[in-house]
Amino acid sequence: MAKLTSDEHQALHHYILLLVARQVLERDFSYLEQANLKLAHPYLELTKSVLDHISKELKAMKTYLHAHHITIDSRKQEGLFSEYYYRHKGYEGVTRVLNAHLKNQVHDYVTSCFTTFRKPS
């Protein structure tokens, strides 16, 4: 069986993290659009900018995974864990992620995106 290298496994995990982060921010963006906020525009603009940043990073990760012949097929959520099925050079594998751990990692990642984001002048 063709095992993933540590770099490939890390890239796979980062790809999963980016997918979940983008999904969460897209949902939050739609809530912000519908919210009755007095200053909604800055929140929407900042969230949209972070979404754009995540999308660019996700594209780079997709390119990396494609170059290493790795595809992620589906996600299955069972209780405490989420399972992600992947294919690598003709072999199939499963990576399991603890949902609470993934949530904390997404929280940290999104927080770092919002705190380090600088709008270009």
| 70-78, strands of its sheet edge to edge | 70-78, 81-88, 91-98
pLDDT tens by residue, 51-83: 999 999 999 999 999 999 999 987 888 889 999
pTM: 0.86
| Count of C-beta atoms within a 10 Å radius of residue 82 | 17
Mean predicted lDDT score pLDDT of the chain: 90
- Across-strand partners of 92? 87
What is the rounded distance in angstroms from the CA atom of residue 79 to the CA atom of residue 57? Answer: 29
Local structure of residue 85 (DSSP, 8 states): E
What is the rounded distance in angstroms from the CA atom of residue 54 to the CA atom of residue 69? Answer: 22
Q: Where are the domains of the chain?
A: 6-116
